[in-house]
Amino acid sequence: MIRNVLSIAGSDPSGGAGIQADLKTFSARGVYGMAALTALTAQNTQGVSGIHPVPPQFVADQISAIFADVRVDAVKIGMIANAAIAEAVADALAPHRGIPIVLDPVMIAKGGAALLAADAVDVLTRRLLPLATLLTPNLPEAAALLHEPVAEDREAMARQAQALAKLGPLAVLIKGGHLDGDESPDVLAGPEGLIWFEANRVPTKNTHGTGCTLSSALAAEIAKGAALTEAVATAKHYLAGAVAAAGTLSVGSGHGPVQHFHTLWPATEGQPT
């Protein structure tokens, strides 16, 4: 059976992040993707120049329309933009407890633009974290959720992952891509304790949408029945391949997108497969 996965997130017209990245990832990972838009953005590989939030009730209407007709096997939540939308998403999902939810707390774009209003952090923490099967913050996002300094080493990462897990999600995956050094470790805090996932850093500037892509891959694997540790290992391996193959694309002059279909499209000669 092909699994159905719903993304609740914002739009990136350049195609590298947001709903566009989510749908590409769902397809690449073999699940049927659906999307409820929370915001339109004007952005490209160089940055975000505008955000137009969708009215909260219409966000809820989109989610309700899906659940009224389609079996949903997992949900991925990305950009929610503001507190009112966060409340609407929480209210719309509350009747559907038991469906796995991967929550990627999108707060800051790759170019530095704020994608989450300050007053929404409290609502996200109070309403959405307890609904989440897996929370996937990067280091700055984890720090913002805890109102703490950004972790600078593995010890701080582990401590913050455990602190976030106490706020309601079943498990927390803190991504270590912002750490200094040649490695990019992630730490999973969940029912089995702390588990580290290691990876070498890929030397490229083309990392636009990596967080969206990882969280969507996680939702796809969980929808297919993978256990959390298995889902993280598979999704992280997929993302590493997508980043390594980013050079086969020629999109924009800033932080380019990853190659979501690196396992499906023939690689350009001389480029990674």
Q: Which residues are catalytic?
A: 175, 207, 209-212
H/E segment holding residue 8 = strand 4-11
Tokens of 80: 């929610």
Burial of 151 (0-12, 13-18, 19+ CB in 10 A): buried
Nearest to 34 by CA among 47, 14, 19: 19
Find all residues with CB under 8 Å of 227, minimum gap 6, and list them.
none
Q: How far is Cα 76 from Cα 233, in angstroms, rounded to an integer?
A: 18
Q: How far is Cα 18 from Cα 218, in angstroms, rounded to an integer?
A: 15
Question: Left, alpha or beta for 182 (phi > 0: left; psi -120 to 50: alpha)?
Answer: alpha
